[in-house]
Structure 1
Amino acid sequence: MDHGVHNGSMGGSAALVVLLVVLPSVLLIIYLVVAGRELRRSTWSGWRTASFAVGTLLIIAAISPPLSDWAHRDLSGHMVQHLLLGMFGPLALVLGAPGTLLLRNIPVTIARRIVAFLATRPIRFLIHPITAALLDIGGMYVLYLTPLYVLSMTDPLVYVLLHLHFVISGYLFTWSIAGPDPAPHRAGMPMRLTVVFLATAAHANLGKLMYGYGYPRGTMADLSELQAAAQWMYYGGDLAELLLIIAFFAMWFRRRNILPVAFADRRQGLY
């Protein structure tokens, strides 16, 4: 059903096109150029290149007119958009290891400064799995169980910030759990595994709350539409989190092979 004039959606569309279509497209071109050079040297994975490209295309698809129009008319469309921007897109981007590619293709002095910045207390707090989960999953609770969702439909700035939050918090959470890129003082594997299972349970519980109690409220959508959107969140979220858990265990099982390389890089001062 049409929920009326979505002033926030209409007013923020141009900004979103720049932020989530033009900018990702430029970054993808840069990534492909650099990765192509590494591939010719046989020092980069074509699989990672494909993953980053897929992640970028998923984010662009989420902002494309067909899906945006559906999201404006129907909460299920919004939920599909949310899943692409906040879960599937970031997962593919993270597995593309853009940080590793960056560090391998910039001067060592700049790479050391970046890693040193990641080691500062505020950044270490921000990239901790618990913090990332609160920003990502906790942000969904705030969005769908409070009037914030309705506000985003009328306020262009809130609308744009909401979609940026989906991408950034989704990327941060995914990276904190299964990101292949290096960073100092990362949480241990048991901590990450605990957080991802708790986050999965919290996400599923939010879907149940939305289904059972008709959230988000104030949208003029009927109960069947709200329940359909909740099902998209529940089952789509389960699939995305299953893929994240698979990526986590794949990284864990490969850890013995990666550690010698990591220690070699640490001796060079990159960690």
Structure 2
Amino acid sequence: MRTIPAPHRRGLLAAAGVAAVVVVAVVAAAGDVYAALGNPVPGPLTSLGSSLLRLVADAAGVVCVGGLVFAAFLSPPGEAGRLSPDGYAATRTAAGAAGVSALAAAVLVPFDAADASGRPVSEALHLAKLAVLVDAMEEPKAWLCVLAVAAVVAIGVWRTLTWRTTVLWLGLALVGLLPRAIAGHVSIGAWHDLATNALVWHVIAAALWTGALVALLVHRGSGAAGEVALRRYRRVATWCLVVLAASGIVDGLALARPAGLVTGYGLLLGVKVVITMVLAALIAVTRRRSSGGTAALVAEVMVLAGAMGVSAGLAHLVPPAFVDDPATVGETVLGYDLPDPPAFARLFLDWRPDLLLGVVAVLAVAGYAAGARRLRNRGDDWPRGRFWAWTCGWATVLIATSSGLGTYSSGTFSLHMVIHMTLAMLAPVLLVLGGPVTLALRALPVAGKGPDGPREWLVALLHSRFTRLVAHPLVASVVFVGSYYALYFSGLFGEAMRYHWAHQLMNLHFLVSGYVFFWLVIGVDRPPRSMPHLARLGMMFAVMPFHAFFGVILMNKQAVIAETFYRYLSLPWMPDLLSDQRLGGGIAWATGEIPMIVVVVALLVQWGRHDDREAARLDRRFDQGEDDDFAAYNAMLANLAARRQ
């Protein structure tokens, strides 16, 4: 294992010290933050201990992500998909950091439960009391999720040797950073829907940037490989800076509001703004230094450590919005109120942006347009129909999630079913007709003799076992239709509607499961397993009855699904929940069957065109004196003759 250069080692230790000092200073200066919530002071051990442990858990999770990013994308891989020596060393660091994160999360369960309830941690260490506190609070549950994910990642990464497996563990490690973030302050009160979405981007960008920088300082080699790692890191840092700045503004305004910017909470937000400006200057310095800019990189990691300490300190404070602007019932549940019925103008003109799927939609269209333009600039053609299919698909997603339809779908079951069918049936059909993978493979440059790039990464992921499993026809069909019954008829839907993150996860599941299913049926991109058109048609006919039965069951169901949630929300213009649910069942039946019929027609058209092309190919071969059957017969005779000899 490579020895860490002395300047890098001293810089990392100094960065850890800076983060710890910032946390201690914020907690000490904040004083009694528990009175605003009506809780007693639990004591310095609990308040300071929980903040420092939170810093340790977050920092360890970030280092784990950074090690996996370095191994998968910054360090050029070895032969046959194996990790390079530098990448392998980075995975060892990632595994150790995941173990530290799991241990810190385990200790944080009683500490966070005690801190949130205003009790000394000694009381929370009793199992009976701890079970009660964990059951009543969301953050201790979030730390249990972090513990589980970090433990799995630590064990899995320790056995990882290949690039594909490293990428899968990286995805899981990023997911493991989110439970604690989305269960914190951003999940409470007015505008928590926007704040939660923005924080997801914020956490991912901060982890990628900080973790990649730490891994670069620890594992970066010399020569060409080191230059490649540095160059790729600079690109990552630039994009992460943009995401951090934009998402930080949204979260700051949601939690502090303009009036709270003059408080101590607002002062810390101002410190983060200054830190962002300093980081922008440091990135500019490192970009101009082709030799690596060691001093600038060390300074950068220290500034990022200060930002992490400020974030941990902010988690200890009470946001001004909680005190100055108490939330209504609608704002507590949804993040906003729905005082008026869903008139036509409100559904299509009253927009509330979805900062997750909405941003993804805009970026996906922009990236697709850039790829199509690259093909045209080099003289290649790309069908305009595919471009418009892709654009209309993401426009459908944007309208479904960010317009008034998406806003009201959280309060009414019928409009929720409209969004469900749109994301699961309509948008995926348009997206798979766009052929994004085919476009990417044609537009992205080939690495050649140089280190693997985005095109090679995409090819490797398409041929991975995970992709082959997800894209298996049986798995895709069961997930696509079976999730309807599992979600709505098991009580899971009522639980999921209580949390904004769960609602977002539902939307994402609808879109992804629909995309995978229709990718296999009518997609332009070639799936991992080639299927004849007859098998594709069989998939459609196998799924259609189950989808129709689902709508019929909803229309005839006598009990209200998620009744507790809708009763608690208590919208004045929605008195009859059962009638609205039956309307939703009718929408599920009608809007589901019509796209299915359209897909069947499109599949038959594709089948006919494929047969026409195959017939034309055979005619050309026959005209040239070639015949596949005759050639196969001759090959068989030659094989028999060779065996006799």
Name the residue aligned to 1:235.
590
Distance of aligned partners of 1:8 and 1:125 in 2 relative to their CA distance in 1, 3 Å threshold: farther
Structure-to-structure mapping, 1:156-235, within 5 angstroms: 156-214=500-558, 217-219=561-563, 220=566, 222-235=577-590
Between 1:226-235 and 1:243-252, the stretch displaced more is 243-252
Between 1:159-168 and 1:210-219, the stretch displaced more is 210-219
Name the residue aligned to 2:433.
95
Between 1:58-67 and 1:228-237, the stretch displaced more is 58-67
Between 1:121-130 and 1:215-224, the stretch displaced more is 215-224
3-state DSSP of counterpart to 1:33: helix
Name the residue aligned to 2:302.
none
CA drift at 1:8: 5.9
CA drift at 1:37: 4.0
Q: Is the 8 A contact 1:8 1:159 kept in 2?
A: no
CA drift at 1:120: 3.5
1:147 has 2:472 as partner: no
Q: Is the 8 A contact 2:476 2:513 kept in 1?
A: yes
Q: Is the 8 A contact 2:560 2:577 kept in 1?
A: no
Q: Which amino acid aligns with 1:141?
A: Y
CA deviations on 1:47-92 (whole Å, 9 max, x unpaired) are 1111100000000000124112321332111111111111111111
Q: Is the 8 A contact 1:144 1:216 kept in 2?
A: no
Name the residue aligned to 1:80.
418
1:51 has 2:395 as partner: no
Q: Which amino acid aligns with 1:139?
A: S
CA deviations on 1:113-164 (whole Å, 9 max, x unpaired) are 6345433333222102221111111111111112111112102222121111
What CA distance in whole angstroms lies between the structure 1 residues aligned with 2:588 and 2:559?
A: 12
What CA distance in whole angstroms lies between the structure 2 residues aligned with 1:228 and 1:6?
A: 26
Name the residue aligned to 1:67.
405
Name the residue aligned to 1:245.
600
Distance of aligned partners of 1:218 and 1:34 in 2 relative to their CA distance in 1, 3 Å threshold: closer
What CA distance in whole angstroms lies between the structure 1 residues aligned with 2:508 and 2:614?
A: 33
Q: Which amino acid aligns with 1:55?
A: G
Between 1:168-177 and 1:153-162, the stretch displaced more is 153-162
Residue 35 of structure 1, aligned match among 351, 354, 372? 372
Q: Is the 8 A contact 2:496 2:502 kept in 1?
A: yes
Q: Is the 8 A contact 1:9 1:159 kept in 2?
A: no
Q: Is the 8 A contact 1:115 1:184 kept in 2?
A: no
Distance of aligned partners of 1:108 and 1:59 in 2 relative to their CA distance in 1, 3 Å threshold: same
Distance of aligned partners of 1:216 and 1:191 in 2 relative to their CA distance in 1, 3 Å threshold: farther
Distance of aligned partners of 1:95 and 1:230 in 2 relative to their CA distance in 1, 3 Å threshold: same
What CA distance in whole angstroms lies between the structure 2 residues aligned with 1:189 and 1:112?
A: 29
Name the residue aligned to 2:335.
10
Kindly tell me the number of residue pairs found equivalent between the two proteins: 254
Q: Is the 8 A contact 1:209 1:215 kept in 2?
A: no
What CA distance in whole angstroms lies between the structure 1 residues aligned with 2:580 and 2:598?
A: 27
CA drift at 1:101: 0.4
Q: Which amino acid aligns with 1:239?
A: I
3-state DSSP of counterpart to 1:18: coil
Distance of aligned partners of 1:107 and 1:113 in 2 relative to their CA distance in 1, 3 Å threshold: same
Between 1:110-119 and 1:126-135, the stretch displaced more is 110-119
Which has more radius of gyration? 2
What CA distance in whole angstroms lies between the structure 2 residues aligned with 1:169 and 1:10?
A: 27
Q: Is the 8 A contact 1:129 1:177 kept in 2?
A: no
Distance of aligned partners of 1:68 and 1:43 in 2 relative to their CA distance in 1, 3 Å threshold: same
What CA distance in whole angstroms lies between the structure 1 residues aligned with 2:375 and 2:559?
A: 48
Residue 480 of structure 2, aligned match among 136, 140, 144? 136
Unpaired runs of 5+ residues, structure 1, are 261-271
The TM-score normalised by the length of structure 2 is 0.37
Name the residue aligned to 1:20.
357
What CA distance in whole angstroms lies between the structure 1 residues aligned with 2:436 and 2:559?
A: 37
Between 1:215-224 and 1:184-193, the stretch displaced more is 215-224
CA drift at 1:244: 1.8
Between 1:94-103 and 1:156-165, the stretch displaced more is 156-165
The TM-score normalised by the length of structure 1 is 0.84
CA deviations on 1:221-260 (whole Å, 9 max, x unpaired) are 5322111100100000011112222222222222243897
Q: Is the 8 A contact 1:8 1:158 kept in 2?
A: no
CA drift at 1:9: 4.3
Distance of aligned partners of 1:216 and 1:38 in 2 relative to their CA distance in 1, 3 Å threshold: farther
Between 1:238-247 and 1:105-114, the stretch displaced more is 105-114
CA drift at 1:26: 1.0
CA deviations on 1:2-22 (whole Å, 9 max, x unpaired) are xx74856439xxxx8222101
Distance of aligned partners of 1:75 and 1:168 in 2 relative to their CA distance in 1, 3 Å threshold: same
Name the residue aligned to 1:104.
442
Unpaired runs of 5+ residues, structure 2, are 1-328, 337-352, 448-452, 567-575, 618-645
Distance of aligned partners of 1:7 and 1:124 in 2 relative to their CA distance in 1, 3 Å threshold: farther
What CA distance in whole angstroms lies between the structure 1 residues aligned with 2:356 and 2:478?
A: 24
What CA distance in whole angstroms lies between the structure 2 residues aligned with 1:242 and 1:7?
A: 41
CA drift at 1:106: 1.6
Q: Is the 8 A contact 1:48 1:95 kept in 2?
A: yes
CA-based RMSD: 2.6
Distance of aligned partners of 1:230 and 1:103 in 2 relative to their CA distance in 1, 3 Å threshold: same
Distance of aligned partners of 1:168 and 1:239 in 2 relative to their CA distance in 1, 3 Å threshold: same
Name the residue aligned to 1:267.
none
Q: Which amino acid aligns with 1:34?
A: G
Q: Which amino acid aligns with 2:367?
A: I
